[in-house]
Chains A and B, each alone.
Chain A
Amino acid sequence: MTVTALTPPVTTTRPPRAPGIVRQACDVIALTGRNLVHIAREPLQLSDVTVQPVLFTLLFVYVFGAGVVLPGGGTYADFAIAGLLALNLTTSAMGTAVGLSTDLNSGVIDRFRTLPMWRPAVLVGRSLADLLTATVCMAIVAVTGLCIGWRPGGGVGSTLAGFALFLLFAYALSWGCACLGMVSKGPESAQGVGLVILFPLAIVSNALVPTERMPTVLRTVADWNPVSAVTSAARQLWHNPNPSASIPAWPMQHPIEASLLWCAALLVIFAPLATSLYRRRTTE
Chain B
Amino acid sequence: MPTDSMIRAEGLKKRFGATVALDGVDLDVPTGSILGVLGPNGAGKTTAVRILTTLSQPDSGSAWVAGHDVVREAVAVQRNIGVTAQDATVDGLLTGRQNLVMVGRLSGLRRAESRARADELLDQFDLSDAADRVLKGYSGGMRRRLDLAAGLVTRPPVLFLDEPTTGLDPTSRVRMWDVIRGLVGEGVTLLLTTQYLDEADELADRIVVIDHGRVIAEGTAAELKTATGGARLEVTLSHPSERAPAALEPFVAGPVHVSHDGRRLRAPVRSESGLATTVVRALDTAGVSVDDVEVHQPSLDDVFFSLTGHPTEDPDDVPDDVPSAARLEVARS
A residues near B (Cβ < 8 Å) are 1-6, 8-9, 11-18, 23, 26-27, 29-31, 33-34, 37-38, 41-42, 106-108, 110-117, 121, 283-284
Contact = CB atoms under 8 A, between A and B. Distances in A.
B83 A30 contact: no
A3 B103 CA distance: 29
Nearest to A40: B93
B71 to A, nearest CB: 11
B226 to A, nearest CB: 33
Given A27-B106, A110-B85, A41 B93 contact: yes
Task: Give the interface SS of chain A, mostly helix, strand, loop or mixed.
Answer: loop
7 closest pairs, A vs B, by CB? A15-B108, A111-B89, A107-B87, A30-B105, A107-B89, A116-B78, A6-B67
Interface residues of B, number: 49
Contacts of B67: 3-6
Nearest to B5: A6
Given A13-B154, A30-B102, A116-B75, A37 B94 contact: yes
A95 to B, nearest CB: 14
Contacts of A116: 75, 78-79, 107-108
A112 B78 CA distance: 10
Contacts of A41: 93, 134
B56 A3 contact: no
A38 B95 CA distance: 11
A37 B89 contact: no
B6 interface: yes
Which of A26, A34, A115 neighbours the largest number of chain B CB atoms within 10 Å of its CB? A115
A37 B95 CA distance: 10
Nearest to A118: B106
A105 B255 CA distance: 58
B66 interface: yes
Contact of A113 (B55, B93, B103, B108): B55
B90 interface: yes
B157 A9 contact: yes
Contacts of A113: 54-55
B91 interface: yes
B3 A34 contact: no
Given A116-B107, A284-B55, A12 B155 contact: yes
A121 B78 CA distance: 16
Contacts of A11: 155, 157, 186-187
Contacts of A29: 105
Contacts of B108: 15-18, 23, 26, 116-117
B105 A26 contact: yes
Contacts of A106: 92
28 contacts: A1-B1, A2-B1, A4-B1, A4-B3, A6-B3, A6-B66, A8-B66, A8-B80, A9-B31, A9-B187, A11-B186, A11-B187, A12-B80, A13-B154, A14-B79, A16-B110, A31-B102, A33-B102, A42-B93, A108-B90, A110-B87, A110-B89, A111-B83, A111-B89, A113-B55, A115-B103, A116-B78, A117-B108
B98 interface: yes
A111 to B, nearest CB: 4
B88 interface: yes
B5 to A, nearest CB: 8
